Structure 1
Amino acid sequence: MSLDWLLGRQLEAFAAAGFEVIGVSAPGLHVEALAARGIAHVPVSSFTRALAPHRDLAAGPELVSVFRRLRPDIVHTHNPKPGILGRPAARWAGVPHVVNTVHGLYALPGDSRRRRAVVYGLERAAARFSDVELLQNVEDLAVMRRLGVDDERLVVLGNGIDLTRFDPKRVDPRRREALRRQWGAEPGTVVVGVVGRLVWEKGYREVFEMARRLGPRARVVVVGPAEPDKRGAVDTASMEAAAADGVVFCGERHDMVDVHAAFDVFVLASHREGYPRAAMEASALARPVVATDIRGCRQVVVDGETGRLVPVGDVAALTAAVADLVDDPRRRQEWGRAARRRAEAEFDERRVIAITLGVYERLLASAPRRAATTAA
């Protein structure tokens, strides 16, 4: 899923730059989408998205075998789990260069000491096998420094989206209105949108309670796949209760330009993020964003200018911030325009691609090429 959704355009750009690109991941429905992009794929049968210790132990040797067979010049991993397993596997397979992208460290100051020790310990150990660590925000940069990773191996990459696709000028008003009718939003109703996997750490407890408190003042719409195999998945009973309070669940969608355009306000109540793509997409389409005051979200939202930042888990603050925007169309427009300007200045995916290609070329300049560049 991540190779297509999160990395698809980057993989296409790497191929266009002359690299042979091979995706290595768990088998799944998104393999066909990768093929449509012209990206080869090698499945790792023991790989799973969910935490599965016994299968994870088998995935390491399988990755080593895959990398030995492919003989890539570079293995580029993406955390959490592929980065933990992929970095040492690449080195043990004799891969000359290993790059890892940190999509947010999966531990926060409020987490238990045990969780933080495990997460940071695994990252410290895996980082010993990489040449370069690409980071999405400066707060993770500070953490990696504390974990003992040398500055010359750390690069702040940021994150980006396709601003030519997520452009207000490309919005079709007819599709926007059709979606709003599909969601049961009457003319004049404010639509509050949420995009994210249906796991509790995305803040759905707060979102569901916010929807209950807002009542008929707004239509709350949730877009994202259910992930019943993931730890902390939102259960069916909770979704049914939220639906009874008026929340609309749309499942997984791919027409995200139309989806964001049909929202009036975007909400991200997540407990942990790297550099949230959905919030960047909403900003690029000139939608104000209400998000939690955590790393990653702070890089997207300027409080009081493009949206609001609220404390994690604070339902009252979340509801109040959203209600203020529901009741103030002028502010929604002003903050939305400011969000688009910020997106144009900060969220261009072409910059991320250029930095990554620069890292690849620098590494390859120190050793002759072998066969392929592999993204794991």
Structure 2
Amino acid sequence: MLNKNKIRVLFFIGSLRSGGKERRLVELLTYLSNSGRYEIFVVLTLSEIHYNQFLNLNIPYKIIQKRWRKYDITVIPEFYRITKKFRPDLIHTWGRNQTFYALPSSIRLKIPIVNSQITSAPPKLNKLSVNSLIDRLNFRYSKIILSNSEAGIKAYTPPLEKSKVIYNGINLDRFSNLPNPTNIRAKYKIETPYAVVMVASISPNKDYRLFSEVARYVTSKRDDISFIGVGWYIRDDSEYNRLIELTKSNPKFIIPGNINDVEALVNACTIGVLFSNKTIHGEGISNAIMEYMALSKPVIANDAGGTREIVHNNKNGYLIDRITVPELGNIVIELVDDEVKRNSFGKASETIIQNSFTLEKMGKAFEKAYEEVLELKQFKQKKPTQLMEIY
């Protein structure tokens, strides 16, 4: 049996800016804090915290200021000092570099690492790259490796004997008592009865070019459908500037950037889409797609990575592959026009979330992983005479 005292867990992530991995951690921290079984400390390497939900939890945290942009080994001694002072039972890492920085602390202080660095399923990996070398080290010295999709395990190929899949869990309370959709549509200048939303960062991993081309095609044929893309961006980024220029000539194409009321906006829209750059990126389980589904929206997304583990073609949406812009645009128009199918897809989406992707289900799975690691640690620490008594 585990010690009845609180389990001390040290979490290590790059930042808490808007993103799927970051949202997932905040949801987990909410669950663990509410359980009363854990003493938690969070370490960041960037001061970006976009989730007020995290601040409201009043969890102690520390930011290690990086000196270098990438592979900053100066983080290692500072993280060691924090670890030695906090004396955690577990170190739970949320990123490739964070896991790497935690290895010396884990090895020297004999604290097991729970590794949650796998959150995507890239189509190609360079096995000779520095990143792949770091991955192999991380996997070797982690006690358990957790991916949020089966596709992630297949892509990164960690040792299967210590790998598990824990699907994202979503806090359904986030979708209660949302503002009136009419007010939200007015706020974001959506003047049409139907709207297609894409929640995604404006980054190379996402295909905003496809989103904008589909928007141009559909809005040239229909005056009752708008397209709105929201997510984190870099102000001087060329793709962001290109999208802003498109909004000037097409009032039905809207790019408000990063927003704080994503749930309310999705609730006010008709269809949720997620187009990824399949040549370099494969989604794990997308939090954006989960939000669409929790709000009973049909989904259109790439047939790649972990998306096919949550979106079921022609059941709660469409998985697309090698499709032209007109074909994709016509799918959007067909869904808008077919209210029965749209509602059927939306209901199926909501049911999938309630059955397989709740916060409670995810939280319990993480707790089970913690217990397995701690039980193994306690077993290995027993003296030989104690082992004889067991047998």
Q: So what's the TM-score if we normalise by structure 2?
A: 0.80
Q: For 1:270-304, what per-residue CA distance to the aligned partner results, in whole angstroms no more than 9, with x for missing partners? A: 23211101101110110000011111211121110
Matched, 1:141 2:146: no
Alignment of 1:47-196 (within 5 A): 52-53=69-70, 56-83=72-99, 85-105=100-120, 107-109=122-124, 114=126, 117-144=129-156, 146-147=157-158, 149-151=159-161, 153-166=162-175, 170=176, 172=178, 175-186=180-191, 189-196=193-200
Partner of residue 223, structure 1: 230
Change (3 A) 1:158 1:178: same
Amino acid in structure 2 at the alignment position of 1:35: L
Contact 1:264 1:287 in 2 (8 A): yes
Which residue, 4, 9, 26 being the options, matches 1:8? 26
In 1, the alpha carbon distance for the partners of 2:268 and 2:137 equals 44
**Cα displacement (A) at 1:228:** 5.1
**Deviation digits for residues 252-287 of structure 1 (CA, Å, limit 9, x no counterpart):** 223233111111000100232111011011101100
Distance 1:78 1:233, change over 3 A: farther
Bigger drift between 214-223 and 288-297 goes to 214-223
**1:87-129: CA deviation from partner (whole Å, max 9, x where unpaired):** 42442452421001144346314xxx64885544432221111
Q: Within 1, Cα distance between the matches of 2:359 and 2:44?
A: 23
Is 1:213 aligned to residue 217 of structure 2?
yes
2:208 to 200, 204, 208: 204
Partner Cα separation in structure 2 for residue 222 and residue 348 of structure 1? 25
8 Å CA contact 1:76–1:100 kept in 2: the answer is yes
Q: Is the 8 A contact 1:193 1:267 kept in 2?
A: yes
Which letter maps to 2:218?
Answer: L
Matched residue, 1:249 = 255
Q: CA deviation at 1:346?
A: 1.5
| Residue matched to 1:373 | none
CA contact (8 A) 1:87 1:129 kept: no
Consecutive unaligned residues in structure 2, runs of 5 or more: 1-15, 379-391
Q: Does the C-alpha gap of structure 1 residues 32 and 262 become closer, same or farther in structure 2, counting only changes over 3 Å?
A: closer
5 and 157 in structure 1: CA distance in 2 versus 1, 3 angstrom threshold: closer
Which 10-residue stretch deviates more, 155-164 or 60-69?
Answer: 60-69
Q: Tell me: CA distance 1:183–1:12, structure 2 relative to 1, closer, same or farther (3 Å).
A: closer
Q: Which one-letter code corresponds to 1:224 in the other structure?
A: G
Question: 2:75 corresponds to which letter in structure 1?
Answer: A
Say if 1:87 and 1:126, in contact at 8 Å, map to a contact too. no
Fraction of identical pairs, as percent: 22
CA distance in 1, matches of 2:315, 2:369: 34
How far is the alpha carbon of 1:131 from its aligned partner? 0.2
> What letter corresponds to residue 183 of structure 1 in structure 2?
Y
Larger Rg: 2
Match of 1:262 in 2: 268
Q: Gapped runs of 5+ residues in structure 1?
A: 369-376
- Could you tell me which residue of structure 2 aligns to residue 364 of structure 1? 374
Shift of 1:132: 0.3
Moved more, 244-253 or 329-338: 244-253
SS of the equivalent of 1:201 reads: coil
User: Aligned partner of 1:249: which letter?
Assistant: I
Amino acid aligned to 1:19: Y
Question: TM-score, length-normalised on structure 1?
Answer: 0.83
- Residues in 1 aligned to 2:354 and 2:214: alpha-carbon distance in whole angstroms: 31
CA–CA separation in structure 2 for the residues paired with 1:57 and 1:77: 16
Q: Hey, what's the Cα distance between the residues in 1 that align with 2:323 and 2:203?
A: 14
Q: RMSD of the TM alignment (CA)?
A: 2.8
Are the equivalent residues in 2 in contact too, given 1:192–1:267 (CA < 8 A)? yes
Alignment of 1:277-288 (within 5 A): 277-288=287-298
Hey, what's the Cα distance between the residues in 1 that align with 2:131 and 2:122?
A: 6
Q: 1:293 aligns with which of 300, 303, 327?
A: 303
How far apart, CA to CA, are the structure 2 residues paired with 1:95 and 1:252? 41
Q: Could you say which residue in structure 2 is the equivalent of 1:340?
A: 350
Question: Alpha-carbon deviation of 1:237?
Answer: 3.3
- Flag the 1:181–1:32 CA change in 2: closer, same or farther, 3 A: closer
Is the Cα–Cα contact under 8 Å of residues 197 and 272 in structure 2 kept in the other structure? yes
**CA distance in structure 2 between the aligned counterparts of 1:317 and 1:98, rounded to whole angstroms:** 47
Give distance in 2, aligned partners of 1:126 and 1:40: 26
Distance in 2 (CA, whole Å) between partners of 1:29 and 1:143 is: 29
Amino acid at match of 1:185: I
Q: 1:154 to 1:32 in 2, by over 3 A?
A: closer
Q: Secondary structure at the match of 2:205?
A: helix
